Amino acid sequence: MDNIRHLYGQPWKEREYVIALHYYFLHRDSPCHEDSSFVKEVAGLIGRTPASIAMRMENFASLDSDARPSHKGLSKGGPVCREMFLRWKDRRDHLSSCAEVFIRELKEPHPLSLFEPGQITMPKAFQKYELLDHLGDGGFASVFSCIEPVSRQTFALKILRNENRFANEILHRFLREMRILRNVQHEHVIRMHEDNLESEKSFPAFVMDLAECSLTQYLDWIKKEGGRRRPFMPTAEAAQLFRSIGSAVDALHHHQPKKVIHRDINPNNILRLANGTWVLADFGLAKFLQSAASVSSFVTNTGRGCGTLYYAAPEQYDDFTRTDERTDVYALGMLLWDLFTTATPYPQTDHPELPTEFEGIFRKAVDRNQSARYQSVAAMIADFDQAIAKWLLNSKENTAAKANV
């Protein structure tokens, strides 16, 4: 058990995947649960909990087109899990040979460690969770998928990287992100389930909903599967996404007792949950509007200290203290363009190549002059609702006209 506890703070490595995948193909048609003998065998070999192994087997089954429907899991795992499955699924002989070598090493009196010294240390408050996959890095934190072995529920854990624990401004921003998520509850804002704000202020982390993918990844998948030109998403789906994120931002701007502005709305921070819901995440640059403004001086994951290129409003570059609700309006204008344009990046306000009904909304949202923009997200969404209804009506009329030619 001590060995398992030690591994809770380590994400899965390649050798673990090889061994687990080898057992998956050997027992593909057998019932898979925590009490299955082969699940316990794998858990004993690599030092993971049976719940973690059973979840990983479900991940493999959901990616396996030949698996029985009754064996298919609900979760496809993270990108590393997907990559490992695709890499080995058609190389079973090589997979078995590699797995046998790794297993022999594990059974030796002094086996080589499967785990490299990591940059992540688990806070005491979250040692009940077992890390699964490294999902990505932000400017100052890392995100992992994790499982709570008793309930077998999966979550995402965002944790400040060790080198940033004593950087005052970064620590301040991370703590502020946690406080915002504590106070804001909205169906289209990522939900925080647990934090250690009181118990471990010098080593903060929090557990939140586990997303299926970001909007960036989702659009990449669409492009790879269909090779489509812009716009990549069907109109109805894009409209639903835009309204969802717009409603989340509007709720932030009306939050009481303090309004919240996000300041980094972009496709990387818009996440799709397993049930298809789109949520706004990553509040690392967010602030309570009434709080004292501070200029950001550290580099974010975009390589800039003020937001994401093309999505960041001009005032974020000129004077970060001037940001307000209209800063988020600008980013929503860019999101509108990204979802509905036929143009290749990057947008020109004079020729945005949007449907005519959306051009005025886009230009008003991304005006360099804050006072000329929409003064509220609600006003922008109201115009969008009218525009999308008109555009859909015109599209039907155009389709009917072409059919009669």
Over residues 71-94, the pLDDT tens digits come to 555 566 778 888 899 999 999 889
The encoded tokens of residue 204 equal 């903060």
The last residue of a domain, from among 107, 133, 168: 107
Query: For the stretch 317-331, what's the b/e string if a residue is b when 16 or more beta carbons lie within 10 angstroms of its beta carbon?
Result: eeebeebbbbbbbbb
Residue 129 sits in which domain range?
Answer: 124-208
Burial class (CB in 10 A: 0-12, 13-18, 19+), 166: exposed
pLDDT tens for 129-175 read 988 888 888 778 889 999 998 898 999 999 887 777 777 888 888 99
pLDDT tens for 168-205 read 888 888 999 999 999 999 999 999 999 998 888 778 89
The encoded tokens of residue 48 equal 């993971």
Do 218 and 317 lie in one domain? The reply is yes
Binning pLDDT at 50, 70 and 90, where does residue 396 land?
Answer: low
In a domain, 137, yes or no: yes
Do 260 and 321 lie in one domain? The reply is yes
What is the chain's Cα-based Rg?
A: 24
Q: Are 93 and 106 in contact (CB under 8 A)?
A: no
**What is the distance, to the nearest Å, from the Cα of residue 188 to the centroid of all Cα atoms in its chain?**
13
| CATH (domain of 375) | 1.10.510.10
Do 295 and 175 lie in one domain? The reply is no
In a domain, 48, yes or no: yes
CA 277/CA 243 separation, integer angstroms: 12
Q: 137: which strand partners?
A: 142
Q: Are 168 and 112 in contact (CB under 8 A)?
A: no
In a domain, 228, yes or no: yes
In a domain, 115, yes or no: no
Residue 4 reports pLDDT greater than 90:
no
CA 401/CA 65 separation, integer angstroms: 42
Do 397 and 375 lie in one domain? The reply is yes
Long-range Cβ contacts of 38-46 (<8 Å, 24+ apart) = 45/19, 45/103, 45/106, 46/15, 46/16, 46/19, 46/20, 46/106, 46/114
| CATH (domain of 181) | 3.30.200.20
In a domain, 118, yes or no: no
Do 22 and 87 lie in one domain? The reply is yes
Do 222 and 202 lie in one domain? The reply is no
In a domain, 279, yes or no: yes
Phi, psi angles (nearest 5°) of residue 349: -65, -25
In a domain, 113, yes or no: no
Do 193 and 220 lie in one domain? The reply is no
Do 277 and 327 lie in one domain? The reply is yes
Distances (CA, A) of 48 to 41, 131, 183: 10, 10, 35
Q: Amino acid identity of 88?
A: W
Secondary structure (3-state) at 83: helix
Do 279 and 155 lie in one domain? The reply is no
Percent of all residues in the chain with a pLDDT value above 70, rounded to a whole number? 85
Number of domains in the chain: 3
- Among left, alpha and beta (phi > 0; psi -120 to 50; other), residue 198 is alpha
In a domain, 285, yes or no: yes
Do 204 and 219 lie in one domain? The reply is no
Secondary structure (3-state) at 270: strand
